[in-house]
A and B are shown apart, each in its own frame.
Chain A
Amino acid sequence: MNLKLKVWKQEGPDTKGYFKNLEAKEVSPDMSFLEMLDVVNQDLIKKGDEPIAFDHDCREGICGSCSMVVNGDPHGPEKAVTVCQLHMRKFKDGDSLVIEPWRAKAFPIVKDLITDRSAFDRIIQAGGYISVNTGNAPEANSIPVPKVKADAAFQDATCIGCGACVAACKNASAMLFTAAKISHLEALPQGKVESQTRVLNMIGQMDKEKFGACTNTGACSAVCPKEISLKTIAKANSLFRKAAIQKS
């Protein structure tokens, strides 16, 4: 099939960006979306042009590198996949695709479709961990964890930190990302020890990074490739209120 592409080009965070019209020809339905871009890039290079810059790595939907908005949807039209797992069989001959980077104040554009998501790292840095030095750990089975709790912790821990939640949110809020980590650690007995400082510090850092406020529209969870539940936000909010009251 043949497709028309409108791809965002931007040299750096402070330069002005624009849409570039490109064509993707003889696209196989078995190609992944990124393989389609690879082919477009090979043609651009052969023509003496510059390829489209985009972040990618594992191409299995787990590293969280790939990050682009396709026709208005972070990671494209298919539910519960990253754009690297999106396959061209979801599109048809003649389709037009508008491809843009994540757009959020907290994620400045590095180049073309690549953004700087280090704000996420700083949120984790503020408290997204259990403080245990190597060697300090008790025997693994000494603290039983109910299976339901362990499964719930796992579900929230599957967040890949891609940032689609921020890209989808009209406020560019990082609440789903932050709440997923809070909720994961809160479900485990080991994580409860630092519960209050964690929630205050992580949400505090989120605000400092200029992410917007959460207004519970749920767009984040709807586009999340790992289907992180909105319940994590409810849990984080409730923990936050309790912690804030107790602190004051």
Chain B
Amino acid sequence: MSKLDSKVPSGPMSEKWTNHKFSSKLVNPANRRKYEILVVGTGLAGASAAASLAEMGYKVKAFCTHDSARRAHSIAAQGGINAAKNYQNDGDSVHRLFYDTVKGGDFRSREANVHRLAEVSVQIIDQCVAQGVPFARDYGGTLGNRSFGGAQVSRTFYARGQTGQQLLLGAYSALMRQVEKGNVELLTRREMLELVKIDGKARGLIVRNLVTGELEKYSGDAVILATGGYGNVFYLSTNAKNSNATAIWRAHKQGAYFANPCYTQIHPTCIPVSGDYQSKLTLMSESLRNDGRVWVPKDKDDKRDPVEIPEAERDYYLERIYPSFGNLVPRDVASRQAKYRVDEKRGVGPTDTAVYLDFKDAINRLGKDAIKEKYGNLFQMYEKIAGEDPYSRPMRIYPAVHYTMGGLWVDYNLMSTIPGLHVLGEANFSDHGANRLGASALMQGLADGYFVIPATLGNYLNSYKLSEVTTEHSEFEKAYNTVKNRVDTILNVKGKRTVDSFHRELGLIMWENVGMSRNRKDLEKAMSEIQKLRQDFWKDVRVPGKATEKNQELEKAMRLADFLELGELMAKDAFMREESCGGHFREEHQREGEAKRNDEEFSHVAAFEWKSEKDRIFWEKHKEELSFEIVKPSTRSYK
């Protein structure tokens, strides 16, 4: 076990980022065009990074699996983006956003990163408005805000329930402008299947062309991964169907440490599963908890239609248990409480695994039109999926996998343990600790892409002596052959079971044992079941079609092969972390149903190094100790 150097600059917290930018080496504008930067992923983090670096003069190649950069999963983010503007004059500040985020993450994030995030949050809003992002506004023409969980101020900027879409289209338009100028080469329908390292540094990619099946080689001076999270390891999640961990997992197997894999966010308000054909789950934005009230019947045998249950017989349990934050407690807390209600047999709906989210009072107070204006698209989405009108009866909701706080370990410069490999957005681990607050993912993605990487990349390029590299280098051939063999092996299994059947099985193992509530016994079971399933997969998977064509089953199979390894690591990390913190809840470590941390032993980032010998895979754990200069760890209370 070794200690990791986070490279957090010295000096007072509020001056670290400013000082760091000044002391970092720069690349002069004329020299930037000599550097080629490979950016994988075009969501908020990737598109903003690719556009910003190209504007500075770097030569950029951007890759995405979709047919267009605009379709990355950031597009589906609903509720909003936080920024410490204090436009509502309600006592917000950079310090408060920083404080709320560190506390919200249950004291498992790196303070200096979080402070930087809070600092640049204000610039993000300026940038987006200048790009034409149509945020909600008040009648005077200024920007509007709403509240999100874990905060007692209104600092969330939003565009109805489609904030992610509007922010991504902003970043996408900036990216397309650079494509037009010839500064970015955009390569769509390309999937990264291997990282190429030369002299220990990240210098290239092997990418599969998803239309022709051809494996392509690209070289560069630095690689940036902005490929999102790994929630789809659970099969059912709110992630888009094609979201996957392959890019970060290939990098992990090349030496990038994977940090806090067990930190998963289970979002409290999603539309419940309706049948075993279910392909994914749909989120109902946290912003709904501004106006919606969560409840279950007081009596577990009360099977009446919800609109017939009188006030006095409803248990608004979040308001009861957490009077100061009420329905706006953080996600991990709200999810756990929903699970407890279902465990107490007070769940509602056809399968008794849901709770109500009720807008009756808000509609009476504000009128149907006001609610429609705020949440129109969400209500429509609910109506389409659930087949019920949420204006006249409460929504049925239940927690679902939504976000992964863990990811590749990065230092303060967002560089992984592989020199030259930078990781941005949800794909890294850095800012949210053990639980992410609502409306902070968009903030982090754009902070990393617009403001952090443009300031830190130059230092890397200028500090390391990078030799000239082309795709003729033998390492490219080696990586190419590795990928080709993997593709051929998977196609040649020619077994009986479909990719989806394996994926569903993995998802079930994960949800039941590595989900909202975890314990030693179940985690041990999960690890052995996943190992077994992985063996079965390589013996019995059936992938139809050829390598040299558009082959969606092959794409899925390659991604699942990686999930089958990552799932084991998640269970292992959850097993080793003998405490409860944020979204990681170990039943053995609780205080009246609330997470009980163990700061003495676990105030660290667990970063795993991939190891393998013959057929056996294992990991070596490394630690980055967390120190808290400003926000002293305490028991998180929202009561």
User: A residues bordering B, Cβ < 8 Å?
Assistant: 11-12, 28, 30-32, 34-35, 38-39, 42, 45-46, 48-51, 53, 55-65, 80-81, 85-87, 89, 110-111, 114, 116-118, 120-121, 124-126, 128-141, 143-147, 150-151, 153-154, 157-158, 160-161, 184-185, 187-188, 190-191
Contacts and interface: CB of A to CB of B under 8 A. Distances in A.
A60 B52 CA distance: 29
A48 B240 contact: no
A64 B500 contact: no
B498 interface: yes
Contacts of B241: 56-59
Pick from A56, A80, A85, A121 the residue with the most CB of B within 10 Å. Answer: A121
A185 B142 contact: no
Contacts of B69: 121
Contacts of B164: 62
A29 B276 CA distance: 13
B132 A191 contact: yes
Given A50-B545, A140-B143, A150-B134, A121 B68 contact: yes
A179 B143 CA distance: 26
B565 to A, nearest CB: 24
Contacts of A118: 67-68, 188
Contacts of A39: 277
Interface stretch (B191-199, B278-286, B576-584): B278-286
Contacts of B552: 51, 53
B216 interface: no
B544 interface: yes
Contacts of B179: 121, 125
Contacts, number: 217
B537 to A, nearest CB: 15
Contact of A120 (B68, B73, B126, B381): B68
Counting contact residues on chain B (CB < 8 A from A), the size range is 35 or more
Interface stretch (B168-176, B362-370, B399-407): B168-176
A35 B211 contact: no
A141 B169 contact: no
10 contacts: A42-B498, A65-B71, A129-B177, A132-B174, A133-B52, A147-B138, A153-B134, A154-B159, A157-B166, A158-B165
A198 B165 CA distance: 22
Pick from B69, B123, B241 the residue with the most CB of A within 10 Å. Answer: B241
B323 to A, nearest CB: 34
Contacts of A187: 134
A81 B283 CA distance: 17
B498 A111 contact: no
B87 A141 contact: yes
A134 B174 contact: yes
A134 B454 contact: yes
Given A62-B165, A117-B68, A147-B138, A48 B131 contact: no
B63 interface: no
Pick from B73, B165, B275 the residue with the most CB of A within 10 Å. Answer: B165
Interface of B: 48, 51-52, 55, 66-71, 73, 75-76, 85, 87, 123, 125-132, 134-143, 159-160, 162, 164-166, 169, 172-174, 176-177, 179-180, 186, 188, 211, 240-242, 274-275, 277-280, 282-283, 380-381, 384-385, 387, 450-451, 454, 496, 498, 500-501, 542, 544-545, 549-550, 552-553
A140 B139 contact: no
Contacts of A60: 76, 282-283, 381
Contacts of B496: 46
Contacts of A50: 544-545
Given A34-B279, A45-B544, A144-B140, A185 B76 contact: no
Given A31-B277, A150-B134, A46 B176 contact: no
A240 B183 CA distance: 28
A131 B177 contact: yes
Given A45-B498, A48-B544, A121-B68, A154 B134 contact: yes
B67 A116 contact: yes
Contacts of B125: 140
A20 to B, nearest CB: 15
A51 B544 CA distance: 8
Given A35-B278, A51-B552, A190-B131, 18 more contacts: A45-B542, A57-B66, A60-B76, A62-B162, A87-B384, A111-B549, A118-B188, A124-B172, A125-B177, A125-B180, A131-B177, A132-B174, A140-B125, A144-B142, A151-B137, A154-B134, A158-B162, A158-B165
A126 B176 CA distance: 8
Closest 10 CB pairs between A and B? Answer: A144-B141, A129-B173, A137-B130, A154-B134, A137-B126, A153-B134, A134-B52, A57-B240, A140-B129, A111-B550
A154 B166 contact: yes
B176 A121 contact: yes
Contacts of A63: 66, 71, 73, 75-76, 240
A11 B134 CA distance: 41
A236 B69 CA distance: 25
A190 B240 contact: no
Contacts of B240: 57-59, 63
B384 A85 contact: yes
A45 B550 CA distance: 16
Contacts of B123: 135, 137
A67 to B, nearest CB: 9
Contacts of B139: 147
Pick from A39, A134, A154 the residue with the most CB of B within 10 Å. Answer: A134
Contacts of B52: 133-134
A130 B132 contact: yes
Contacts of A32: 279, 385
Given A65-B71, A111-B549, A190 B130 contact: yes
Contacts of A154: 134, 136, 159-160, 166
Given A133-B55, A144-B142, A38 B500 contact: yes
A190 B129 contact: yes
Given A48-B544, A150-B135, A158-B165, A139 B126 contact: yes
A55 B87 CA distance: 42
A143 B142 CA distance: 8
B138 A157 contact: no
A171 B274 CA distance: 41
A81 B384 contact: yes
Contact of A145 (B85, B127, B137): B137
A85 B381 contact: yes
Nearest to B68: A121
Nearest to A44: B544
A49 B450 CA distance: 46
A3 B521 CA distance: 46
Contacts of A129: 131-132, 173-174, 176-177
A191 B134 CA distance: 11
Contacts of B174: 129, 132, 134
A135 B120 CA distance: 11
A12 B550 CA distance: 9
B230 to A, nearest CB: 16
A30 B279 contact: no
Given A31-B275, A118-B68, A140-B143, A130 B130 contact: yes
A138 B126 contact: yes
B369 to A, nearest CB: 13
Contact of B67 (A30, A46, A65): A65
